[in-house]
Amino acid sequence: MGKEITNVTITDNTGLVREALARATRQALAAIGTTAERYVKENMTYDTTPPKPPIDTGLLRNSMTYVVSGEEAHIKNYKADKGDESGEYSGTAPATPKNTVYVGTNVEYGVFIEEGTGIHAAGNKGRKDPWVYTDEKTGKKRVTAGYTARHMIRRAVTEHTDEYREIVKQTFKANE
């Protein structure tokens, strides 16, 4: 029998595979962020849990956005539906942990709506006694024991995990 000669060429596509994985991961995170942002805004707009959260100007709702680790926020500017209030996002989210999507707001009072205040604060971290404040709109003195936590961001994240998993599956499938 004669000698058989075989030539084998091996091509290292590691770089291309890593690029494709990074691209698909980024697409999936952005899709999850967009979806979660929509659920947060729906939670704020259509929440019927008593007491229904007031939407005075729409500033907080309009400020809700997402950002992928190491990138800029999905929206740059936002404004109230009523009045002149507005705000903006600048800079980038932390690069670590990698492959993370953040959903939230930079509006100062957002944390109080999300986590509650006073005796209603999440984790029992609020003050335990009622207090008096002056209502800025009416000028009247009011007594409160706090505000019930709405968890509009937390619910948008935790109540839709199966949908977020499906987004990842479909995004990676589309990028095969």
Domain assignment of residue 6, yes or no:
no
- Match 């709506």 to its residue by tokens: 113
- Number of structural domains found in the chain: 1
Cβ atoms of 176 and 20 closer than 8 Å: no
Domain assignment of residue 9, yes or no:
no
Cβ atoms of 57 and 85 closer than 8 Å: yes
Tell me the C-alpha distance between 130 and 127, whole Å: 8
Domain assignment of residue 112, yes or no:
yes
Domain assignment of residue 129, yes or no:
yes
pLDDT string in tens for the chain (176-residue length):
667 888 889 999 999 999 999 999 999 999 999 999 999 999 988 876 666 666 789 999 999 999 999 999 999 999 999 999 999 999 999 999 999 999 999 999 999 999 999 998 888 889 999 999 998 889 999 999 998 888 999 999 999 999 999 999 999 999 88
User: How is residue 89 written in tokens?
Assistant: 């996002």
Boundaries of domain holding 55: 14-174
Domain assignment of residue 3, yes or no:
no
Q: Name the residue among 173, 156, 176 with its Cα closest to residue 32.
A: 156
